[in-house]
């Protein structure tokens, strides 16, 4: 089992407009959905002898 904990991602679930999301993506404050897809692919592509138990992924400049 893998727990993936994403930070801010530009999706319809965000309370900000699409142009604001795009601006935050460009300024590295928000990720794109494709970034999470790459992380999931990484976790799934590991050999059977390995488990990715937790994977935290956040934008480079996300303020937490």
| Residue 44 falls inside a structural domain | yes
Task: Show the tokens assigned to 33.
Answer: 């959905």
Kindly report the backbone phi and psi dihedral angles of residue 59, in degrees, each rounded to the nearest multiple of 5, phi listed first.
Answer: -60, 150
Q: How far apart are the C-alpha atoms of 2 and 41, rounded to whole Å? A: 12
pLDDT in tens, 10-64: 888 888 899 999 999 999 999 999 999 999 999 999 999 999 999 999 999 987 6
Residue spans of alpha helices (H) in 1-64: 18-26, 33-44
Q: What pLDDT is recorded for position 13?
A: 84
Residue 5 has pLDDT above 90, yes or no: yes
Domains identified in the chain, total number: 1
| Radius of gyration, CA atoms only, the chain | 13
Evaluate whether residue 46 is within a structural domain: yes
Which structural domain, as residue segments, surrounds residue 7?
Answer: 3-57
Residue 15 included in any domain: yes
């Amino acid at each position: 089992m893998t727990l993936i904990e994403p930070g801010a991602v530009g999706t319809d679930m965000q309370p900000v407009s699409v142009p604001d999301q795009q601006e935050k993506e460009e300024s590295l404050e928000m990720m794109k959905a494709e970034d999470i897809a790459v992380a999931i692919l990484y976790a799934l592509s590991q050999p059977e002898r390995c488990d990715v138990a937790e994977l935290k992924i956040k934008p480079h400049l996300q303020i937490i």
